[in-house]
Structure formats: C-alpha cells, structure tokens
Amino acid sequence: MDLIAIHPNSYKHGLDGNAIEHDWRNAFEWLRRDRDDGKTEYVLLGVDHQGRLVELVARSVGNDGYIVFHANTPPSRRVLEELGLMG
C-alpha cells in the first residue's frame, strides 16, 4: 500500500510525519473497514521508534495510494477489539 499523503488531522495526537510514515511502512496488523456511506477505510496497527503501539486510519485515493487521516497512540480499545487483539 503506497502512502501518498498525511492529512493535518493526523498530527493532533502528537505524532509527527516521520513517525506516521514509519508506522505505515511497519504496520503488523490491518483491516478493511467498509462504511455505510460507501467509503472504505483501512485501520493499521504499528510500533513507532519509541516502541509505542500506534493506530492509523487511512482512505484510498483512487488507484494512486492512501491518505492517513488519523494517528493515535496508544491505540483505542475499539481498534484493538476490531483487530481481534482485545476481547
């Protein structure tokens, strides 16, 4: 999956562009989320340079790649449950 952009909203939880790009390239879990409005999102879980778990949420941009619009550490309980990592 090619990352083509990071939306400014992704920075609101304190992660910078380098961390987000690193997490994108090194994600070890992901899932496709098909929304009711017809849009598709991708939820990824990775580890940053400091060893923290990071959740990313992205949307595809045509056939060109993906834009990350959400990045957070630690991951939310909801995302961990969606990925099957928490009961």
Domains and CATH numbers, the chain: 3-82 (3.10.450)
Nearest residue to 29 via CA among 68, 65, 56? 56
**Structure-token pair, residue 84:** 């099957």
As a whole number of angstroms, the distance between CA 14 and CA 6 comes to: 14
CB 68 within 8 A of CB 24: yes
Cα dihedral across residues 23, 43, 14, 77: positive or negative: negative
pLDDT tens-digit map of 48-65: 888 899 999 999 887 778
- Confidence (pLDDT) at 4: 84
As a whole number of angstroms, the distance between CA 55 and CA 42 comes to: 10
Question: What's the average model confidence in pLDDT over 13-42?
Answer: 92
The mean predicted confidence, pLDDT, of the chain is: 91
Query: At residue 42, does pLDDT exceed 90?
Result: yes
pTM score of the predicted model: 0.89
